[in-house]
Amino acid sequence: MKLDNNNHSVFLLHYHLVLVVKYRRQIFDEGISNYAIDIFERIGLSYNITVEDWNHEKDHVHVLFKAHPNSEISKFLNAYKSASSRLIKRDFPIVRKKLWKEMFWSRSFCLITTGGAPIETIKQYIEKQGRK
């Protein structure tokens, strides 16, 4: 297991995030998923957040990501959900049609620390969720 570090600490912080589309609309395909992960990665740079694994179903995404102790995860999630909602609706007319005035994401989300479970186990779970 490789630990991350900065000037004064050593750490390994992994999180499993599930984000659901508003009203569980069947929106996600490969194109929208790739676009959404690109936004996640770009915004994550400012918050010391790195994507480890990503998988989607038609109405939600699973993300396994690493963070630093100084990452403000709630601020990151708000920034990501706001920016991705705006950009996805702007660049994908089908989404704009299905969620005209609504936010793209549900207000709720599920964020779980991996609690020391081996990362390979978490990745297998996320991949399995995408195959359902």
Is 16 in contact with 124 (CB distance < 8 Å)? no
| Helix ranges, 1-132 (H) | 30-46, 73-91, 93-98, 119-131
Q: For the domain 10-131, what is the CATH code?
A: 3.30.70.1290
Q: Which two tokens stand for residue 88?
A: 């996805």
pLDDT tens for 26-73 read 999 999 999 999 999 999 999 999 999 999 999 999 999 999 999 999
pTM of the model: 0.85
Q: How far apart are CA 64 and CA 46, in angstroms?
A: 17
End-to-end CA distance of the chain: 30
pLDDT at 1 over 70: no
Enumerate the domain spans of the chain.
Answer: 10-131
pLDDT tens for 84-127 read 999 999 999 988 877 767 788 999 999 999 876 777 787 887 88
